[in-house]
Amino acid sequence: MNSERRKELLFNVLMNGVAPLVAIMIAFAIGGIVITSLGTNPFAFFSRMFSLNFGTLRGVSQMIYRATPYFFTAMALSFAFKAGLFNIGAEGQMFIGGLALAWVGFTFTWLPFPILFVLCLIAGFLGGALWGAIPGYLKVKRGAHEVITTIMMNFIAIALVQYLVQNHFMNPNWGIPHTPTVAEGAYAPSLDKVIPWFPAGTRANIMFLVAIILAGLTLVLLDRTKLGYEIRATGLNPNSAEYAGIDISSRTVMTMAISGGFAGMATANFILGPGSHYFLKSEYGGIGFSGIAVGLLGRNNPLGIILAAVLFGFLENGALGVQLYFPNVPRQIVEIMQAIILIVLVIVLELARKFLKRLQKRG
Amino acid sequence: MAQDKRSEMDSDPLIRMEGITKRFPGVLANDSVDLSIQEGEIHALVGENGAGKTTLMKILYGIYSKDGGQIFFEDELVNIEDPKDANNLGIGMVHQHFMLVPPLSVVDNITLGSEIAHRGVLDREEGKRRIQELANDIGFEIDPEAKIEDLSVGVRQRIEILKVLFREAEVLILDEPTAVLTPQEVESLYEILNNLQEQGKTIIFITHKLNEVMDISDRVTVMRDGKEVGTKEIEDTSKKELANMMVGREVLLRVEKEEPELGEELIRAENLTVTNDEGVELVSNVSFSIREGEVFGIAGVQGNGQTELIEALTGIDKFSSGTVEVQDSDLTNVDGKRIREEGVGHIPEDRLDRGMITDFTVTENFVLGYHTFERYSNRLFMKLRNMDKHAEEAVEEFDIKTPSTKTLAESLSGGNQQKLIVARELSQQPKLLIAAQPTRGIDVGAIEFVHKRLMEERAKGKGLLLVSSELDEIVSLSDRIAVIYEGEFTGMFDADEISKEELGVYMTGSKRQDKEEVRRKALGKVTLQE
C-alpha cells in the first residue's frame, strides 16, 4: 500500500511538476538561441525581462494585469476537461461574453457601482455560457463532437461581434471599430484600492481577485456539491452516470455553459479595468486559444493555472517593455516561446507517461 | 507434485518454467513458480483473480520481464525478452481484451504486422487465401472482408486465434477466453480447441471457471497468491478439490438455500415491450410477478432481451408499452432516482461501464445512484462525512479489499469491485433487488460470498430478480425460472422441476411452452391457488 502511494506521488511530481518546468526551461533555451542569432545577448535580454516584471511592484502589477485574462480562458478549458469535455471555443466565448458585458456597461449607464459592475460580469458570464451551451446542446442532441463545434463557433463569434460593433454599436466617425465606453458604475477598481501597499496608477484590477475566487468556487463546486459530483460522473463515464439516474444531457450542456461563462468574463479585465473602457476586438485576439496552453501547462489545477497564467503575463509584459532596450528583437519572440512551451510540454508529458509505464512493467 | 507427474509422462515437457519470480511494487505476483507444459496437451491454469496466472503467462510471452527463474523450451534454456522472441519460438497469446482494429477488415487485422508483400506491394489475396485455409483447418467459416466492428464477440475471438495461427504458433496461450462468450460460443470454442489439439498444437488456457477446466483440459495447474499449489491430471481430480486448492479452504460450491417463505407481491409487471429506434421489438409482451422472499430467475442466452428488459425496469431505458407496479406505486417508465427511492436496487450486468466509475473513489462509487438521497446530500452539497462513514462500514462488512475508501475503484480487483457494487445496493436495504450477472468474471471465493449475501436477503423477505447466463447460478439460486428467448418468455418453471439440460433446450429456442400458460405461471396465479 505504501509503495502504491509512493508511485502516486512520483506520478504527480513527474506529470505536474517536472514536466511543466522542463518545458519552460527548454522554451527559454530555444528562445535564447533565437535571440543570440539576432545578435543579442540572451542573458541580458532575459534578465532585463525579469527585472521589468519583478524589479518593482509596478512591474508585478503590470504582469498580473496581463496574466488575468489567461486565467479565465484557462479555467474554461480546465473546467470542461474535468467533466471529460474539450472546450476549444474559449476564444469565441470570450468575444461574445466581452461584447455582452460591454453592452450592459454602456447601455444601463445610470446604474451605480457596484451594481453595474456586477451586472456586467453576469452578462459576460451569460454571453460566454450561451456560446458554450450551444456546442453542448449539439453534442447531446445530435452527437456532434464538441471539439469541432467549438472551433466552428469561434469563427461565427468573431464575425458576429465584428458585424455588431461595426453596424450597430459604433460611431462611424471613429477610426477603429469599438463600442461606446462603459459607464463609471461598471469600472473594476484597480488593485491598489483593495490592497493598500499596491502601487497606484497601474492597470491591474480586481478581476485578478475575481478569477482567484472563481477558481476556489470551482473546486468547491466539483468536489463538494451534488452538481459537481454529477458533472464529474458524466464526464468520467456517461454510461455509469446514466445508470445512476443522472440526466447526462443537462449535465453536459451545463458543463459547457459554465466553461463558456468563465471564458466570457476574460475581457472584463480590459473593458472594465483601468484603460479605454470600451470593447476593442483587435486587442483580445488569441487569448482564448492561449488559454488552452495555459490550462495544459497548469495541469488543470487551479494553483498550476495561476502560475502558468502569470508566466504568460510575464512573457507578454516583458516583451512590451524589453523592446525599448533591445529593439532588434521583435516582441513576437514571446509568442514563439509560448508555442514552444506547449509543444515541448506535450512531448515531455508523453515521455513521462512512457517512463512510468516502463517502471510499472519492470516492477 | 509436478515431479511425480513427470515420471508418468513419456516425453520431456515442451516448456518448462522453473522458479519464476516476479515482483510488482508491493506485490509478489509470482513466487518461484514451476510449470511444465507437455507437447500437444490442453493445460488449464486456474486460480482466483490476482493469483498470478496472467502474470506468469505474460512472462512466458515476453510482455513482462521476470525477476528470477528460468524458462526451457524443448529442454533448451531460452531468453524471452519480448513477444517477438516468443513468436519466434512459436508461442502466441490471445489476450483477454481483444487487440483488433474495429474499422478494418478481418484480413487486414490478421495480417497486420506480418503482411505478405512482394517488393513492397501488399498481397492481400495471398493473405486471404492463407486465412481461409487456416480457418477451414480448425473448422469454421469466415468472411475475410468483413469488418471487425460488424462481428460478434465470439467471432472476434476466432479472429484473434487466427491471428496467432497466422504467425505459425505451435503453442497458444488463451487468457480467460470464455469470459466474454455465450454458452453457445463457448461450445464452439471448445470445438476449435479440440481441432487445434488434433493438429498437434499445444494450448495453455487461463480461467477461473472450474466447469471449463473439467470439460476441456488434460491437465490443470492451480495457482494461489502467486504460488503454484499443484498440477493434476484431469481424471485424478474434481471440481471440489480444485476449488479448495484455489481458495485454500473448504468452499461451498452449492448454495445453501432454505425453503422459501413467500410474502406479499412486491412487483407486478404486465405486457412489457421494449422497441428499439428501428421499431424492432427487443422485449415482447413480458409479464411476471415476484413476491417477498422469492428469487425469480431469468435464464437466457446473452442478447435475447434481458439487458433491455432490465434497463427499462430500472429507468435507464423506456418501455414502449406495459405496466410496472411495485407495491401499488406505478413505476412504469419513471427515472432511476424514483425507482431507487421506491426501494428497488440494481446490480447491473456491466460492472465497469454501468455499475461504477473507475476514476471515482470507493466512497464516491458507494453512493453512485444514491447520491441524491438525503443521507448523502442536501440541496446543494454532498455530505462527505456521512458518505465516508457508510462506505467504511460497508468495506468492513462486505470484506472489500482496498487500502482505503479514498482509493480509486480502478485499483481494486474485479471481485472487490463487484463486492463494492453489491455492498452499495444491499446497504440501501432494497425491497426488491434486480441483479444481472452478479458474479460474472469474479473468482470462486467472491462468487460464494455474493451468493451467500443474496440468499440472506431472500431469507429476510426481500425479492430478487436474477438474470444470469450461468445456468448453475440460475438453477441454484432461483425459486422460479423464466426462459427468455428472442425477447419473449418461452418457458416458466419451478426451480425444482427443471434440469439444466432442459433449460438449455428452451434457451436455444428449440422448445417453447404455450404463451398463455407461461404468462399465467409468471404472474404467479398457480402458486396463489395452492
Any A CB within 8 A of B83 CB: no
A225/B382 Cβ within 8 A: yes
pLDDT of res. B478: 93
HEC per residue, chain A? CHHHHHHHHHHHHHHHHHHHHHHHHHHHHHHHHHHHHCCCCHHHHHHHHHHHHHCCHHHHHHHHHHHHHHHHHHHHHHHHHHCCCCCCCHHHHHHHHHHHHHHHHHHCCCCCCCHHHHHHHHHHHHHHHHHHHHHHHHHHHHCCCHHHHHHHHHHHHHHHHHHHHHHHHCCCCCCCCCCCCCCHHHCCCEHHHHCCCCCCCCCCECHHHHHHHHHHHHHHHHHHEHHHHHHHHHHHCHHHHHHCCCCHHHHHHHHHHHHHHHHHCCCHHHHCCCCCCCCCHHHCCCHHHHHHHHHHHCCCCHHHHHHHHHHHHHHHHHHHHHCCCCCCCCCCHHHHHHHHHHHHHHHHHHHHHHHHHHHHHHC
Comparing CA positions, the residue from A100, A265, A124, A118 lying closest to residue A185 is: A118
Query: What pLDDT is recorded for position A134?
Result: 97
Q: In chain A, whose CA is at the least distance from the CA of B315?
A: A245
> How close is the nearest chain A Cα to the Cα of B282, in Å?
20
pLDDT for residue B286:
94
Residue A56 lies in a domain: no
Q: How confident is the model at residue B484 (pLDDT cuts 50, 70, 90)?
A: very high
To probe the interface with A, which of B368, B386, B406, B421 has the most A CB atoms within 10 Å? Answer: B368
Looking at residue B309, its amino acid is: L
Q: Which residues contact A33 (CB under 8 A, 6 or more apart)?
A: A42
All structural domains of chain B, each given as residue ranges with its CATH number in brackets, are 2-247 (3.40.50.300)
Residue B2 has pLDDT above 90, yes or no: no
The pLDDT of residue B247 is above 90: no
Sign of the Cα torsion A270, A275, A281, A283 reads: negative
Chain A residues at the B interface, defined by Cβ less than 8 Å, are 1-4, 6-7, 224-230, 232-233, 236-237, 239-245, 360-363
In a domain, A251, yes or no: yes
Nearest-by-Cβ selection for B65 from A228, A245, A362: A362
A308 or A200: which leads in pLDDT: A308
Angle at B178 between CA B175 and CA B184, to 5 degrees: 155
Cβ–Cβ contact B65 with A under 8 A: yes
**Is B348 in Cβ contact with A232 (below 8 Å)?**
no
Q: Return the ∠ at Cα A194 (arms to A191 and A197), rounded to 5°.
A: 75
Indicate if the pLDDT at residue A113 is higher than 80.
yes
Residue showing cell 540572451 = A42
More confident residue, A135 or A359: A135
Of A7, A225, A239, the CB nearest to B25: A7
Interface contact B354-A363, CB threshold 8 A:
no
**Angle, CA A107 vertex, CA A106 and CA A111 arms, to 5°:** 90
Per the document, the length of chain A is 363
B68 has a chain A CB within 8 A of its CB: no
Q: Picking from A315-319, A353-357, B237-241, B475-479, which range would have the lowest pLDDT averaged per residue?
A: A353-357
* Residue A165, domain member (yes or no): yes
Quick check: is A363 in a domain? Answer: no
Mean pLDDT confidence for B494-522: 86
pLDDT at B298 over 80: yes
What pLDDT is recorded for position B254? 67
Q: Has residue A84 been placed in a domain?
A: yes
Q: Give the structural domain span for A74.
A: 67-313
Taking the Cβ of residue B512 and every Cβ of chain A, the question of whether any pair is shorter than 8 Å is answered with no
Question: Rounded to whole angstroms, what are the CA distances from B439 to A183, B166, B344?
Answer: 67, 35, 19
Taking CB atoms and an 8 Å limit, are B26 and A240 in contact across chains? no
Which chain A residue is nearest to residue B341, measuring alpha carbons? Answer: A245
Quick check: is A12 in a domain? no
Residue A4 within any structural domain of the chain: no
Angle of helix A226-236 relative to helix A248-264, nearest 10 degrees, comes to: 100
The reply to whether B524 touches chain A by the CB within 8 Å rule is: no
Q: In chain A, what percentage of residues exceed pLDDT 90?
A: 66
In this prediction, residue B348 has a pLDDT band, given cuts at 50, 70 and 90, of: very high
Place of cell 441483479: B435
B13-50 pLDDT tens trace: 999 999 999 987 667 889 999 999 999 999 999 987 77
The closest of A288, A270, A290 to A101, measured between CA atoms, is A270
Q: What is the 3-class SS of B171-184, one letter each residue? A: EEEEECCCCCCCHH
pLDDT of residue B8: 46
What does DSSP assign to residue B516?
H
Number of domains in chain A: 1
**How far is Cα A40 from Cα A35, in angstroms, rounded to an integer?**
6
Sequence-distant (6+) residues with CB within 8 A of A159 are none
Q: A290 by DSSP, 3-state: which?
A: helix
| Shortest alpha-carbon distance between residue A264 and chain B (Å) | 25
pLDDT one-digit tens code per residue, B191-244: 899 999 999 999 999 987 888 888 899 999 999 888 999 999 999 998 888 888
Return left, alpha or beta for A322; rule: phi > 0 is left, psi -120 to 50 is alpha, else beta. Answer: alpha
On whether residue A57 sits in a domain, the answer given is: no
Distance of residue A354 Cα from the nearest chain B Cα, in angstroms:
15
Task: Band the pLDDT of A1: cuts 50, 70, 90.
Answer: very low
